[in-house]
């Protein structure tokens, strides 16, 4: 009997395409992790004087964020879309991969170019530098082609659809809608430069893209629970209804662009409200996932470890989002929690699908503990930022610019730095575990 909460694992071209996207995502994490070492050192009290990286901080931060969020998230999404979509449009799939891979390479090189002029705008921070612009255009085109193919090939009516197939399809719809929003903002806004211009350019689409990530995270949670033997308490039809409920807020996006186009101050307000009011529509999916996590108590498996850490970090980030007051480091504490929650869900599902993609199974105590190490470090990082934000430490600054004058501020940012270093160790362990499974010569039998 086919498990409706596990996507099929096709061989041939879809399997090869999925493996290529997984490699791209892993390489993006490696580059992001190396930059993260510099970022943490540049903000940790005491260390910031030994490593005077203030001038490089902003450029490194931008590429770190773009690699660890934009590229890694989209690449892992493309893994699932490749698996769910079957062999249709394979040539378009490889075109999208090639464009995104070329863009990722150029993006990684861009902070080392002269005159980078970093802009720390939200969602997709930018280096005002020609090479970075080219890299962003290539990545956008590659992911855009991939999303169009995903929408066309993962349509639930095309195949025998379970609720996870529907979830993957709705995530592709959210991603495609986000890319349309980016294009509309670029078309509507007058040509310009500076942080305010790029803030407005990516504001609408950036908010919509978060729904894609959230849907894929829910898919990962449910897939992991099912793989480990825990089925949801609700029927597949009900679970599909929960995915449709979670997608309802997306219907407001065209109306919002029509009523408050980019450049209108209300555009910023109402897309922030879309996040605040829209994500609670995921509550049924979150509760079903929590029940699945509860059913896994006592299970020792790397994917279960990642599931638990993911749920804790995502919940922490969600709670902190409602505690934001002003522009301080509570803001990055909120989105770090949410982002890391998604990342851990992807890590957990990677442990599940690696052997099904033809690689060696992930086993051993290190794999079981890696999500806890990474998650604990990130939780310490997030709580340190939240603590410091309560004492007025501003975001997007480093070194002496942080103006750490009180003991509570220094304690909070020290906690942030220690947690960040622990998280880096956990992230590197994930890379090592995956490379041990994926390295040529370590392949299991090819998926039929």
Per-residue confidence in pLDDT tens, the chain, 448 aa: 445 566 766 668 888 999 999 999 999 988 887 777 776 666 555 555 554 455 567 788 889 889 988 999 999 999 999 998 878 889 999 999 999 999 999 998 888 788 888 888 888 999 999 999 999 999 999 999 999 999 999 887 544 568 899 999 999 999 999 999 999 999 999 988 888 899 999 999 999 999 999 999 999 999 999 999 998 888 888 999 999 999 999 999 999 999 999 989 899 999 989 988 998 999 999 999 999 999 999 899 999 999 999 999 999 888 877 766 655 566 777 778 889 999 999 999 999 999 989 899 998 899 999 999 999 999 988 888 777 665 455 454 444 444 445 556 566 667 777 887 888 889 889 999 999 999 876 555 444 3
Residue 140 token pair: 């956008």
The strand pairing partners of 443, in sequence order, are: 359
Sorted by sequence, the CB contacts under 8 Å of residue 144 that are 6+ apart come out as 96, 176, 179
Q: How many other β-carbons are positioned within 10 Å of the β-carbon of residue 9?
A: 16
User: What's the distance, CA 132 to chain centroid?
Assistant: 20
Distance CA 334, CA 315 (A): 10
User: What's the distance, CA 90 to chain centroid?
Assistant: 25
Q: What is the pLDDT of residue 398?
A: 47
The residue written with tokens 């464009």 in the block is 99
Distance CA 436, CA 442 (A): 7
Q: What is the pLDDT of residue 314?
A: 93
User: Which class does domain 12-438 fall in?
Assistant: mainly alpha
Q: At how many degrees (to 10) do helices 72-85 and 195-227 cross? A: 50
Distance CA 183, CA 232 (A): 39
* Nearest Cα to Cα of residue 80 among 143, 171, 4: 171
Distance CA 400, CA 55 (A): 12
Distance CA 317, CA 305 (A): 18
Residue 147 token pair: 């999303």
């Amino acid at each position: 009997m086919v498990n409706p909460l596990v996507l099929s694992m096709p061989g041939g071209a879809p399997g090869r395409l999925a493996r290529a996207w997984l490699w791209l995502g892993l390489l993006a994490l490696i580059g992001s992790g190396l930059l993260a070492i510099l970022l943490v050192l540049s903000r940790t009290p005491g260390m910031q004087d030994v490593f005077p990286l203030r001038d490089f901080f902003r450029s490194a931060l931008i590429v770190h964020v773009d690699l660890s969020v934009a590229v890694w998230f989209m690449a892992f999404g493309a893994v699932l879309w490749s698996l769910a979509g079957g062999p249709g449009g394979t040539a378009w799939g490889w075109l999208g991969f090639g464009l995104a891979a070329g863009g990722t390479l150029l993006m990684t090189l861009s902070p080392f170019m002269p005159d980078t002029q970093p802009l720390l705008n939200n969602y997709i921070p930018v280096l005002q530098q020609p090479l970075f612009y080219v890299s962003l255009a290539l990545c956008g085109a590659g992911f855009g082609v991939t999303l169009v193919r995903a929408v066309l090939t993962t349509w639930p009516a095309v195949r025998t659809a379970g609720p996870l197939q529907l979830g993957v399809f709705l995530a592709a719809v959210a991603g495609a809608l986000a890319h349309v929003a980016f294009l509309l903002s670029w078309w509507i806004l007058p040509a310009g430069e500076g942080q305010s211009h790029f803030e407005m350019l990516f504001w609408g689409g950036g908010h919509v893209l978060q729904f894609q990530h959230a849907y894929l995270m829910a898919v990962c949670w449910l897939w992991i629970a099912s793989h480990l033997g825990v089925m949801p308490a609700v029927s597949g039809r009900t679970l599909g209804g929960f995915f449709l409920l979670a997608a309802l807020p997306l219907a407001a996006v065209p109306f919002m662009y029509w009523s408050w186009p980019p450049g209108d101050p209300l555009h910023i307000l109402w897309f922030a409200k879309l996040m605040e009011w829209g994500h609670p529509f995921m509550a049924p999916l979150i509760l079903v996932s929590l029940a699945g996590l509860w059913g896994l108590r006592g299970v020792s498996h790397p994917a279960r470890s990642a599931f638990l850490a993911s749920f804790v970090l995502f919940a922490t980030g969600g709670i902190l989002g409602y505690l934001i007051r002003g522009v301080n480091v509570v803001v990055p504490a909120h989105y770090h929690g949410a982002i890391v929650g998604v990342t851990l869900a992807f890590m957990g599902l990677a442990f599940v699908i690696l052997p099904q993609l033809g690689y060696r199974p992930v086993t051993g105590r290190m794999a079981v503990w890696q999500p806890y190490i990474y998650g604990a470090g990130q939780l310490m990082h997030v709580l340190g930022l939240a603590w410091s934000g309560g004492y007025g430490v501003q975001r997007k600054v480093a070194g002496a610019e942080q103006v750490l004058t009180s003991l509570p501020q220094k304690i909070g940012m020290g906690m942030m730095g220690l947690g960040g270093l622990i998280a880096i160790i956990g992230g590197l362990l994930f890379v090592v575990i995956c490379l041990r499974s994926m390295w040529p010569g370590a392949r299991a039998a090819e998926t039929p």
